[in-house]
Structure 1
Amino acid sequence: MYDLLKGLRVVEGSAFVAAPTCGLYLAQFGAEVIRFDNIGGGPDFRRWPLADNGSSLYWEGLNKAKKSVALDLGRPEGREIAQRLATAPGDAGGLFVTNFPVDGFLSYETLKALRADLICLRVMGWADGSQGMDYTINAALGLPQMTGPADDDRPVNHVLAAWDLLTGAWGAFALVSALMARQRDGQGREIRAPLSDIAAATMANMGFMAETLFAGQQRPRMGNDVYGAFGRDFTTRDGVKLMILAITPKQWSKAVEALGLSGEVAALEGELGVSFATDEGLRFAHRARLYPLFERAFAGRTAAELAPAFDAGGVTWGAYQPLEAALKDPRLYKDNPLFQAIQHPSGLTYAAPGAMGTIPQDERRPVAPAPKLGQHTDEVLSEVLQMSQAEIARLHDAGVVAGAS
């Protein structure tokens, strides 16, 4: 947690990954993020993975440091409160994050009529408004045909919801950018962030699009080979798989030296009339000749022998390990100051991350847990919408709002 966005008020009406991720990043940088959901929870409130008591570890992970308001969004009065929250007055407010449809009670035109300078970040599936989620967008991009073993033509979905997460991060950046523009020109804006556009643009930015245009077909799958460079997993004498990567000339020379391959690599360079040290593309193009040399070198040494040799030589490498082993890794989880053990709304106590990255000049504040559903309903209605206690009580009695159960 940091205080860089302290004083900002962001209202979030969302579900699943991309929009909640946007709100999470803003909250962990100090903004007051108020999320409203249906009474009883939205479509992601019980999403897996679940704790033994049925609480969603997913939900409490993506909603840390936020406030929660529970409304009956199926009723006009509940929808009106959501609209009022999104458009509540104040220079530091009028910031709304959602993945609700373009049309409907949370449309930009509807909300703009309540606050002209509203900034709305709207996460979408496809840019034309069609239904789309990370895995279906990914399937349309061709990536599942590029992923997986080279000798298998079945599509392989990636485990990480990459387009959701990129869209959430881009959305946080776009929202703050629009706020800076509003401070200059006083104008509100709707920023539409379709996963399809984020994904397609990223593919183009990484060269996938141009490569396919000029080659006439997309890149074939090649297992764990790093495209355009020297990188792959190799197995040690004791059966440990290590990943090695050599992109720069220094990385290449240090890897060759640590593995005792200088003579054999020089002989191959002479035979082929190339210099692997000067061109990473050549290492990739001739990987079929290089891999057997590296396979033999790895097979002749144990992981315990290679690790210190690689570290001493500055080789870029990594050991494959399951997540349960990664949890004991001091660089990742165990001793990482990014994490702090806190009690979550599920009632469980376990480590959770605060804001990603580190700002040495600023104090890192304690990690804040996700709220219980409806935990801040009364507080937000009173402080943001200036409702009286009598009015709030009436809404509770009518079943329009709810607190934490």
Structure 2
Amino acid sequence: MLLSGIRVLDLTRLLPGPFATQWLVAMGAEVIRVEPPAGGDWLREMPPVVEGFGAWFAAVNRGKKSVALQLKHPKGREIFLRLVESADVVVEGFRPGVMARLGLASETLLERQPRLIYAALTGYGAGSRWRERAGHDLNYLALAGFLGLNGPREGPLIPPPAPVADLGGAMALVIAVLAGLLHRERTGQGLILDASMLEVVVSWMQPFWRAHQAGVRATREGMPLNGAFPCYRVYPTADGGAMALAALEPTFWRAFCEAVGRPEWIPRAFDPALIPEVAALFRSRTRAEWEALRAGIEACLEPVLEPDEAIEGLSTIAPAFATGLPTLPFAVNGERLFAAGPPPRQGEHTREILQRLGYEAAELEELARQGIVGIPGMD
């Protein structure tokens, strides 16, 4: 496996951080979730429940281990520092300053383990004046200008169906961790990394902002890829369905125009005035009729699938994901990587991992009695 032998201490909760560390699990790393003995990640119980866990929790925590540890207690902090000594990566998702207040600042951890890759996933970035401000995915999208462009020109703004900033930030964190591990192999030195969910979305918006500053205003349904051109739009069909037409290249647009008997449209791929005519044509046929047409041409024309249809179509469209396991969207020598094993119960591996550090059974019982560690059956 790509990351065999790499040990990750995961202090994150909710969605973005666990999504990132599950990618590391799929690549072969040992990921140990560090959670407080009481409370912890409320995503565990958030409905709907699947396999005894909240579905969102189960989706991003498979194959991990869990240590229940009270970091606010001096003994808990010392146990964590001992864990750091054998760790390669620490991932945390607190607001900047929280780890320092716990006595576990990045510099402290690197003193204990100079080869450590310390990776923080933050909302606004450690260097931002807003670094301590609370935020969630929708806030980051709003401030980056992404949300202000999402929706029809005359209709309301629409939140995207997936938490774009959360998942984009998670993937940025994975890239940073992998680069950090490579750097460490070359230099022997650890690193402090910070990935900002807001900044990830801002980085995606840079081409639009540069065009905007050059006089091409960024507006809803007013840009090449959000509906300004007839050749690249979503069109409703006669039966309430929809088709996604993405015929940007002349070859694809010509194929579409010829297939629908409108050769006079060929020179007008980027003429906004043509949109009503194309829309009227799409509304004249059902989605099934458009799918039948699509089967005979190559014009980047696809049906807009509802969620149940997309799930049913995985075995054909994306067979690696048809099993339902958390699979990575790339292959290694033709093989797909996925996070195997169930998600961990809270504190399920506390005994195993602390015994690895040399703690005896009697010590663990006393620590559990004091609420410093959590061990199922000993609480």
Counterpart-to-counterpart distance in 2, 1:242 and 1:254: 16
Distance 1:160 1:287, change over 3 A: same
Match of 1:164 in 2: 166
Matched letter for residue 201 of structure 2:
A
Counterpart-to-counterpart distance in 2, 1:363 and 1:149: 38
> Does the 8 A contact of 1:242 with 1:319 survive in 2?
yes
Deviations 1:142-187 (A, max 9, x none): 22221112113x5433232111111111111111111111111111
Deviation at 1:69, TM superposition (A): 0.9
Deviation at 1:45, TM superposition (A): 3.3
Deviation at 1:35, TM superposition (A): 0.8
1:321 to 276, 291, 305: 305
Distance 1:298 1:202, change over 3 A: closer
Q: Secondary structure at the match of 1:355?
A: strand
Match of 2:278 in 1: 294
Counterpart-to-counterpart distance in 2, 1:14 and 1:363: 26
> Does the 8 A contact of 1:99 with 1:122 survive in 2?
yes
> Number of aligned pairs?
367
Counterpart-to-counterpart distance in 1, 2:288 and 2:334: 38
Match of 2:370 in 1: 398
Matched letter for residue 198 of structure 1:
V
Distance 1:254 1:54, change over 3 A: same
1:63 to 61, 64, 75: 61
2:107 to 106, 109, 115: 109
Matched letter for residue 387 of structure 1:
Y
Counterpart-to-counterpart distance in 2, 1:18 and 1:363: 22
Q: Secondary structure at the match of 2:82?
A: helix
Q: More deviation in 19-28 or 128-137?
A: 128-137
Aligned ranges 1:359-398 → 2 under 5 Å: 359-362=332-335, 367-383=340-356, 385-398=357-370
Counterpart-to-counterpart distance in 1, 2:211 and 2:62: 40
Matched letter for residue 211 of structure 2:
E
1:28 to 26, 29, 34: 26
Aligned ranges 1:47-126 → 2 under 5 Å: 48-51=46-49, 55-85=53-83, 87-89=84-86, 93-100=87-94, 101-102=96-97, 103-105=100-102, 106-126=104-124
Counterpart-to-counterpart distance in 2, 1:254 and 1:331: 28
Give me the TM-score of the superposition, normalised by structure 1: 0.81
Matched letter for residue 371 of structure 2:
G
Deviations 1:275-328 (A, max 9, x none): 34xxxxxx23x1222x23323433443333321321221121222232123222
Distance 1:66 1:308, change over 3 A: same
Counterpart-to-counterpart distance in 1, 2:258 and 2:162: 35
Deviation at 1:49, TM superposition (A): 3.9
Identical aligned residues as a percent: 26
Deviation at 1:388, TM superposition (A): 2.8
- 1:188 maps to 2:215: no
Matched letter for residue 213 of structure 2:
L
Match of 2:178 in 1: 176
Give me the TM-score of the superposition, normalised by structure 2: 0.87
Q: More deviation in 241-250 or 229-238?
A: 229-238
Aligned ranges 1:300-339 → 2 under 5 Å: 300-331=284-315, 336-339=319-322
Counterpart-to-counterpart distance in 1, 2:70 and 2:316: 41
Deviations 1:188-228 (A, max 9, x none): 11001122222222211xx1221222238643455994356
RMSD over aligned Cα, in angstroms? 2.7
Counterpart-to-counterpart distance in 2, 1:401 and 1:359: 39
Counterpart-to-counterpart distance in 2, 1:11 and 1:366: 16
Deviation at 1:240, TM superposition (A): 2.8
Deviation at 1:43, TM superposition (A): 4.4
> Does the 8 A contact of 1:149 with 1:222 survive in 2?
no
Following TM superposition, where does structure 1 have runs of at least 4 consecutive aligned residues deviating by more than 6 angstroms?
A: none
Q: More deviation in 236-245 or 9-18?
A: 236-245
Matched letter for residue 136 of structure 1:
N
Deviation at 1:83, TM superposition (A): 3.0
Q: Secondary structure at the match of 1:327?
A: helix
Distance 1:372 1:381, change over 3 A: same
Match of 1:354 in 2: 327
Q: Secondary structure at the match of 2:49?
A: coil
Aligned ranges 1:99-248 → 2 under 5 Å: 99-100=93-94, 101-102=96-97, 103-105=100-102, 106-127=104-125, 128=128, 129-131=131-133, 132-152=135-155, 154-204=156-206, 207-215=207-215, 218-221=218-221, 225-227=226-228, 230-248=231-249
Matched letter for residue 76 of structure 1:
P
Structure 2 unaligned segments of length 5 or more: list them: none
Deviation at 1:19, TM superposition (A): 1.7
Match of 1:252 in 2: 253
Deviation at 1:14, TM superposition (A): 1.0
> Does the 8 A contact of 2:27 with 2:338 survive in 1?
no
Deviation at 1:32, TM superposition (A): 0.5
